[in-house]
Structure 1
Amino acid sequence: SFTLAPQGGVSSFDNSKGTWTYNLPVTASWEIDIFSRLRNGKLRNKALYYQSIEYRQAVRTQLIATTANLYFTLCMLDEQYAIANETASAWREAVDAIRAMKDAGMATEAAVAQNEAAYYSVETSVKQLAQSISETENSLCSLLAQTPHKIERGSLESQRMPADLLIGVPVQLLSRRPDVRRAEYSLMSAYYATAEARSALYPQITLSGTAGWTNSAGSQIINPGKLLLSAAGQLLQPIFQAGANRARVKIAKAQQQEAMLAYEQTILNAGQEVNDALTACQTARESAALYDQQVASLRRAVESTELLMQHGSTTYLEVLTARQSLLSAQLQQVANRFTELQSVVTLYHALGGGRETETAQ
């Protein structure tokens, strides 16, 4: 530390001529950091600073992942809306056909009512999907700090993701995660806090000196002034606070152990999230072919039951069941594709994101 403390004054005794005195000292003090108390304190605060940088990276990665999920959600809702709208058109034609069959005496009023109820249910789903699309667009606009507007986007099938994903992820990749790095810096901070608390048990040595210009030499006033020099050393050894300092060391050690356990748990959680994302992506890709086969089979079932009903060898209930099963399978097929895309985004997030953090110097 450096201190400049100029002083001056004038004095007069019994109406005599005033006498000016002045003192222009510069004082410097330096603590010899033999036991690294100051160094450990500096390193501890630097670790806390790096921890805040990792928090910013975590927020940035979360923002990117949320934006991607909302975009893929819009693509999924578009696909589901198209399927539901197409199904509603087919139901509308089926209602007209069943009414014509009723007029010809080939169907009952119950069949007409059942088909109409199914049609209205699909139309309601179309309206709800349109509402969900609008709400998702508004959420994405709000996330991007924009006023609500139509989001330009592609189709769900046009989205391309890496064809091959790692079956296993090296532990080194988990070190990129902001939460893992934050836990690491928290552990570093606790370590240096323990070292700093331990340094308080040892003496502190401080050197200080003063240099300046003064015309006040004790009881004498000298004009012109003379150079003033002084030096001193100080040794401070805690005696009565030794017990409190030892208690602080024990507390710091306990907090360091707590930080170590939190770091280990963060690593375990990171590995679990990565494994879950990989499993979800692989399961969705394996299920895609099965959903394709299921939808194709249900389409054939719908065509067959419609032909059978027209020739009077089956009932309208079988047609209703086949169409409802087809619609459900088509929606699940789209949802499975969305799950695949979402799991890749989750994997991106679980591995710490794709943006490089600023290298701390």
Structure 2
Amino acid sequence: MLGTAGGKLVKAVALTAGIALSVMPGRSVLADNLTDAFIGAYNTSGLLEQNRALLRAADEDVAIALSALRPIINWTVRVSQDYAKSRAGTVVSSVEPSRFFSGLTLSQLVYDGGASILGKQSAQETVLATRQALIDIEQQVLFRATTAYLSVLLQEETVQIRQNNVNLSGEELRATQDRFEVGEVTRTDVALSEAQLASSQADLADARGDLSTAQAEYVNAVGKQPGRTAGQPRLPKLPGSLAEAISLAQRNHPAILSAQHQVRALDLTVQQQRAGLGPNVSLNADAGITESYDNDDYTNDASISLNFNQPIYAGGRLAANVRRAMAQRDASRANLLNVQKDITQGVTDAYVRFETATASLRASVERVRASQVAFDGIREEATLGARTTLDVLTAQQDLLDAQLAEVASRTERSLAAYQLLQAQGLLTAERLGLAVQIYDPTLYYNLVKKAPAQISKQSRDLDRVLKALRRE
């Protein structure tokens, strides 16, 4: 937890998602649902911590840019050795005085065509772009948690279905052996049932291996071992049409907002570089004591000067800086167009994926119902001698495939729904109402934006914030 100053970096948001319970033996008492996965991922993500630190670094760039508008005061110690030779008529004299200066020097920018102010404004736009990039990273972290949770759930259900199929195959083998003993079926029927049981056991072993892999990914994404899963999550509220989803994404997606701020930042950088071609005026002053090494003489002196500089020739560096800034700005504009297109495509893909998964789920549910009726009927007919063992095993496999398809379709629909949420820029801790301490990027910025001196109260507050962050 953050201290008094650090605690302001976050704000509590009430949890709105409930916890559903499901029954599965051999697991912990409390059930893990998708909300638990979100909370774990948000609180333990190293990727989020990395990008929060990058945002704080961008905040400091604003303070650095602001400092160019303020006076610079230094304690200066200067040792000088002068040499002068002069001729007066036939007399040639030379002087080599040595001096020691100790005192304060001041330099204050008076005018630079607005270059420093433009630099500060560009840094501020970069901060806004980095904040949006952090939100996009947050979406990626939460979607990875979604994928990890649904993958564990899918594999658990697959293991359960495979286990049921092994049990069913064992029952079929015992029934076939009983019928063989009374002469109703042949040794071939027994062999078919034995093969079916062995195949079911192999599939169960594969499913358990896939479950272990999914659990390992869950630990990586969420930061803890999965408990007993609470089943499929409630679907989030989704847009009524593809056009509505695209419109919302274009207005709201953090990747687009970040790219827009990047364009504005580089526009300001171009203006800053152009201003650098003009004159600048600075005020310089010093005050201190000058002593001579040759004797014990000393002087208390002070000086002040107003310096005017106009670049005339700098080897082409200044013009190259302008052209480079323009090229970077043009690249950012092109990137914005690409981001907008990618977001539109991402929304379209997620929307179509959800629609397809929904239709597939409806078909899968009907397929399971029909396959169950068919299997029950064929199994009953086999006991009367109207069906062969191969017919029963074929119907059993059809039922198994239908059950697996239904589970996969249900998981696919949930995954597509949250992918659509992410594609619109809505998969964030704040919008989901997670019971976590929401990171507040404005507090640190507000502490540093005025570039506090190292001995100020704000600087001490910053030290406490940074110490609290390092303890988390």
TM-score, shorter chain, exceeding 0.5 = yes
- Is residue 112–residue 279 contact of structure 2 (8 Å, CA) maintained in 1? no
Matching of residue 358 in structure 1 with residue 441 in structure 2: yes
Q: Residue 277 of structure 2: SS of its match in structure 1?
A: coil
Distance 2:314 2:290 in 1: 43
Q: Residue 309 of structure 1: SS of its match in structure 2?
A: helix
| Residue of structure 1 equivalent to 2:113 | 35
Matching of residue 334 in structure 1 with residue 410 in structure 2: no
> Residue deviations 1:222-256, cap 9 Å, x none?
99x76x45332222222223744223322221221
Match of 2:123 among 45, 70, 74: 45
1:91 and 1:213, CA in 2 relative to 1: closer, same or farther beyond 3 A? closer
Distance 1:56 1:164 in 2: 24
Residue pairs, 1:100-115, within 5 angstroms: 100-115=178-193
Matching of residue 162 in structure 1 with residue 162 in structure 2: no
Match of 1:76 among 126, 148, 154: 154
Letter of the structure 1 residue corresponding to residue 236 of structure 2: P
Q: Residue 429 of structure 2: SS of its match in structure 1?
A: coil
| Residue of structure 2 equivalent to 1:196 | 272
| Residue of structure 1 equivalent to 2:319 | 246
1:347 Cα deviation from its structure 2 partner: 2.3
1:80 Cα deviation from its structure 2 partner: 1.8
- Is residue 245–residue 424 contact of structure 2 (8 Å, CA) maintained in 1? no
Match of 1:4 among 75, 79, 89: 75
Matching of residue 302 in structure 1 with residue 378 in structure 2: no
| Residue of structure 2 equivalent to 1:277 | 350
- Is residue 165–residue 278 contact of structure 1 (8 Å, CA) maintained in 2? no
- Is residue 348–residue 354 contact of structure 1 (8 Å, CA) maintained in 2? no
Letter of the structure 2 residue corresponding to residue 295 of structure 1: V
User: Structure 1 stretches of 5 or more lacking a match?
Assistant: 10-20
1:70 Cα deviation from its structure 2 partner: 1.3
1:176 Cα deviation from its structure 2 partner: 4.2
| Residue of structure 2 equivalent to 1:92 | 170
User: Structure 2 stretches of 5 or more lacking a match?
Assistant: 1-71, 81-98, 431-439, 447-472
Match of 1:182 among 243, 258, 264: 258
| Residue of structure 2 equivalent to 1:26 | 104
- Is residue 215–residue 221 contact of structure 1 (8 Å, CA) maintained in 2? no
Q: Residue 5 of structure 1: SS of its match in structure 2?
A: strand
- Is residue 69–residue 345 contact of structure 1 (8 Å, CA) maintained in 2? no
Structure with the greater alpha carbon radius of gyration: 1
| Residue of structure 2 equivalent to 1:289 | 362
> Residue deviations 1:104-142, cap 9 Å, x none?
222222222122212211122222222222332233223
Q: Residue 232 of structure 1: SS of its match in structure 2?
A: strand
1:324 Cα deviation from its structure 2 partner: 1.0
- Is residue 135–residue 428 contact of structure 2 (8 Å, CA) maintained in 1? no
Distance 2:326 2:290 in 1: 55
1:6 Cα deviation from its structure 2 partner: 5.9
How much is the aligned-residue C-alpha RMSD, in angstroms? 3.1
Distance 1:62 1:327 in 2: 34
- Is residue 198–residue 249 contact of structure 1 (8 Å, CA) maintained in 2? yes
- Is residue 137–residue 151 contact of structure 1 (8 Å, CA) maintained in 2? no
Residue identity over aligned pairs, in percent, reads 19
Distance 2:325 2:347 in 1: 33
1:196 and 1:172, CA in 2 relative to 1: closer, same or farther beyond 3 A? farther
Match of 1:230 among 289, 297, 303: 303
- Is residue 246–residue 347 contact of structure 2 (8 Å, CA) maintained in 1? no
Distance 1:145 1:259 in 2: 36
> Residue deviations 1:5-25, cap 9 Å, x none?
36799xxxxxxxxxxx98664
